[in-house]
């Protein structure tokens, strides 16, 4: 079974993807919360073999995630059975280069849609380390809520639930500070770093100072929250989310105009990835 989204192709994960998946796991930032030092080329091969067996036995499992733009494997997303808990988990791991583009949300939502139409289970789970803030925010955006605290191999985890028989609210996410549901609007800031791939030290310091100020603006009210950044290819990309993209942009626009890095533009999106976007170029 192959699932397809606007930007992704999700194909059954098997041992033929083991070498490419290990190249992703070899990044400590990727591996930190999905196995850490226990991940090796051998254990990755064994994992993909288990995934292939699960597909054969259950008709679903983890998918290899192919980014259509590049044709390359960027990670895995899909369902995994926990027999000891009698639960099905939605889990993922993406390469650092693929993070921050809404791809995890896009792939995970495809699996949620499939599960609602094909599983008889009452809910899906997401098993997340308490320190894994990005994955926690993703579960919130997908509509999961904290169900219980548990342990896996001696490590404390939070287990989130997503009912499958409930009518989903499109593009919803809780504010991590209030716990209240709100639409997932996005404000994505692209700043030029000049000719250097990751920018000069001064350019990076300028971006960090901007992000510090933006976080202070957001912390002062209920506009939204800062969700990380990406550096590379001569630009810095900063991600902000909140209940109203227009209000969020209006609050930060004066500070953005003061940033000397140009060219620069802001993408304003009133919903989940795939929603029509508006581009504002900074003068």
What three-state secondary structure class fits 26? coil
In whole numbers, what is the pLDDT of the chain averaged over residues? Answer: 88
Residues sharing a CB contact under 8 Å with residue 238, sequence separation 6 or more, in sequence order? 188, 189, 191, 207, 210, 211, 214, 226, 228, 229
* Residue pair 107/74 in contact by the 8 Å Cβ criterion: no
Mean pLDDT on 139-154: 88
Asked if residue 166 has pLDDT above 80, the reply is no
Is the domain defined by 181-281 classed in CATH 3.30.70.100? yes
- What are the tens digits of pLDDT across the range 106-133? 999 999 999 999 999 999 999 999 999 8
Mean pLDDT on 192-200: 83
| Helix ranges restricted to H, 32-157 | 41-58, 103-118, 133-142
Mean pLDDT on 169-196: 61
- What are the tens digits of pLDDT across the range 67-85? 998 999 999 999 999 999 9
For residues 139 and 120, what is the distance between their CA atoms, to the nearest angstrom? 21
- How many residues does the structure list for the chain? 283
* Most confident by average pLDDT, 8-17, 26-35, 185-194: 8-17
Q: What is the pLDDT of residue 179?
A: 38
Q: What is the pLDDT of residue 231?
A: 78
* Residue pair 109/142 in contact by the 8 Å Cβ criterion: yes
Say which CATH superfamily domain 3-168 falls into: Gcn5-related N-acetyltransferase (GNAT) (3.40.630.30)
For residues 177 and 180, what is the distance between their CA atoms, to the nearest angstrom? 8
Backbone angles phi, psi at 127, to 5 degrees: -105, 115
Residues sharing a CB contact under 8 Å with residue 23, sequence separation 6 or more, in sequence order? none
Q: Which of 80, 82, 78 is nearest to 64 (CA)?
A: 78
Q: What is the pLDDT of residue 153?
A: 87
What stretch(es) of the chain map to CATH 3.40.630.30?
A: 3-168
What stretch(es) of the chain map to CATH 3.30.70.100?
A: 181-281
- Tell which wins on pLDDT, 19 or 225: 19
Percent of the chain with pLDDT over 70: 92
Q: What is the pLDDT of residue 122?
A: 94
């Amino acid at each position: 079974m192959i699932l397809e989204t606007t930007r992704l192709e999700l194909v059954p994960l098997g041992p033929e993807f083991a070498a490419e998946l290990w190249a992703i796991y070899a990044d400590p930032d990727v591996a930190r919360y999905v196995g850490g030092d226990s991940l090796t080329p051998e254990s990755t091969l064994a994992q993909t073999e288990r995934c292939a067996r699960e597909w054969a036995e259950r008709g679903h499992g983890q998918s290899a995630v192919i980014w259509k733009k590049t044709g390359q494997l960027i990670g895995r997303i899909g369902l995994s059975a926990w027999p000891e808990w009698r639960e099905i988990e939605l889990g993922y791991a993406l390469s650092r280069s693929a993070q921050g583009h809404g791809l995890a949300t896009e792939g995970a939502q495809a699996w949620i849609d499939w599960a609602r139409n094909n599983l008889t289970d009452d809910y899906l789970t997401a098993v997340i380390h308490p320190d894994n803030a990005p994955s926690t925010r993703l579960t919130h955006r997908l509509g999961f809520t904290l169900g219980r605290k548990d342990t896996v191999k001696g490590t404390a985890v939070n287990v989130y639930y997503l009912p499958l028989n409930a009518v989903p609210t499109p593009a919803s996410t809780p504010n991590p500070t209030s716990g209240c549901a709100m639409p997932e609007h996005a404000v994505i800031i692209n700043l030029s770093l000049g000719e250097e791939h990751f920018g000069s030290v001064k350019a990076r310091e300028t971006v960090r100072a901007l992000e510090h100020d933006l976080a202070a603006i957001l912390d002062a009210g209920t506009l939204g929250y800062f969700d990380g950044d990406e550096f590379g290819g001569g630009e810095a990309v900063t991600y902000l989310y909140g209940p109203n993209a227009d209000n969020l942009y209006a609050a930060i626009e004066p500070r953005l105009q003061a940033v000397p890095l140009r060219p620069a533009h802001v993408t304003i999106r009133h919903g989940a990835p795939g929603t029509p976007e508006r581009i504002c170029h900074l003068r």
